Structure 1
Amino acid sequence: MAIALNAILVTSAAPAAASSDDRVSSGYQQGGIEVTARWIRDPETGEFMSAPLNHVSDDPNQYKAELQCQVDDNALDKKCLPGQVQCPPREPGEKPGTPVIWKVAPKAVSNPTWTDWKSGNNGPSCLYDQRPEDVLPRIAARIESDFRNLPVKPADLATQPSPHTLKGAETNIFANAVEQQFDVTILGQRVHIVATPVEYTYAYGDGNSLGPTPFAGGPLPEAEWGQKTRTSHVYQQTGDFQVSVTTTFRGTYSVNGGPNMPIPGTGQFASPSQRVSVWRSITRNYADNCIVNPRGEGCPGVP
């Protein structure tokens, strides 16, 4: 799986002398510092490597972060500086962060017009790193493995009827998984991750399976037990079987309140298996009238 992340940052420096048009130099030459990071996962080694040119990720947008008071490639607005967001050190002895504004534009448009990306507070956020122009690509390079190691709660597994079912009848087996959110720290940045269940793989314990399928299934009223569902299964033999489900989650992540970006690949999380006992049913016809002959074969209480 692949990720494409465009990050263009210009790091701040001590302002130079003010010019006549209320601008101050940002301390960098025309064009600033531009970093373009495109990553794919090598299917043989599992390592991240530079993606081919024109590689497209799942996200139709591209993002960049600019200094809050940036007005062009090498100048800051000195009137903006007194009111810019403060990014104090998070821990004693650490350096302050860099206030940035996130920008968004469609990837499909050549030379797009960048617009402000609206965050929850519609304002600037901070990046904390000695080299803020590199921190986004470095997070992108490790986010997939971090995602797979999250304590994601797997789906709850259920069967109907339970714990016993009948040979030759439809047994309704379904999963209940929910979207989950996590706040973690990666390379000193606050990263918000959302994990969403997207697919399910059922193992029925008798050598048969279903999936990956987008259908989680669901409970049936007791009066409808035995009906076929998208995830039900018919056992052809009696005995005890271990039923399990593995849920596939996809994720998005945002850095310090920035835009949600797709996490490459998926995470698979297995639920604890459940035992299902499959019984056989026997139908017999009896001619005795239990009122006349309470001890007749098939009457209640008669062996």
Structure 2
Amino acid sequence: MWFKLEKMQMRFSRMERLFFIISSRESLERKIEGVKLLVCDDVKLNEMHGGLILLHYACALNELDICELLLQHGADPNVRDTWNRTALHYAAETSADCVELFLKYGALVHVRDNNHCTPLHWAAYKNNFYSVRKLLEFGADPDALDANHDTPLSWAALKGNLESVTMLLEYNCRPDTINLNGNTPLSRLVQIMLMGLGSLPEERCLVLLVKALGNSAKLNAATFSGHGSVELNDFLRTCTGRVPRLMELCRWRIRRSMGPGRLINRLSTLSIPPLLRQYIMLKY
């Protein structure tokens, strides 16, 4: 390591050497040793270098210990890159541990990139379930709209990410938001399934979203007629063709009245039977 640093010193700037060390195949101990040697007062950790920010780069490589070392030496988790993304956007995609670390150092949970996506949008899209949960625990808005007015639920549904869809609904996000193209989370998922791209997780997402909507999902029959499996078509026609039961509408109304937030905590304050609590939580 010492010999490598000495040779690098003649050819590259201190910041370039930091990028090189972080991306090298050296052991974590050697990487940390190299970073400690190069980080000093005259290194501007929060400036872009070739369109990249060092903390973002370390996070994208899932180098948790190096991220913490950079933060200890003054790296700012809220600095934005060319795409207006912060370190939390990258962490949301890759590492719940990095998410927790950046939040501990003051990362802004509601920050938006060039597409108006929050870190929660990216965590839901990548199905990084633990990041979704951590961001929600720190107050991320489950109904935040991106530039196309899609919510994190809409992105999770589009990918059939069952764990993320479940967690977002547990935080009582709205399942009926409509984006600028006129699509809801349910209709985006249906479009994917009708293309034959659905599997068991997508089917479970579909059932969960229909429950959250009170089994009163509005889908144009012409959009799915003749496409997809017979079972899927039958299920969609059932959803759109029958009057919802009173208990389904009551569940939908109760969930809407409680607003966003962890639903189980709010339900625990009510004197209701456990089975009813589970029904409101979409468990059956």
Mark the structure with the bigger radius of gyration.
1
Length-normalised TM-score, structure 1: 0.21
Higher relative contact order (CA closer than 8 Å, sequence separation 6+): 1
Whose helix proportion is higher, 1 or 2? Answer: 2
Length-normalised TM-score, structure 2: 0.22
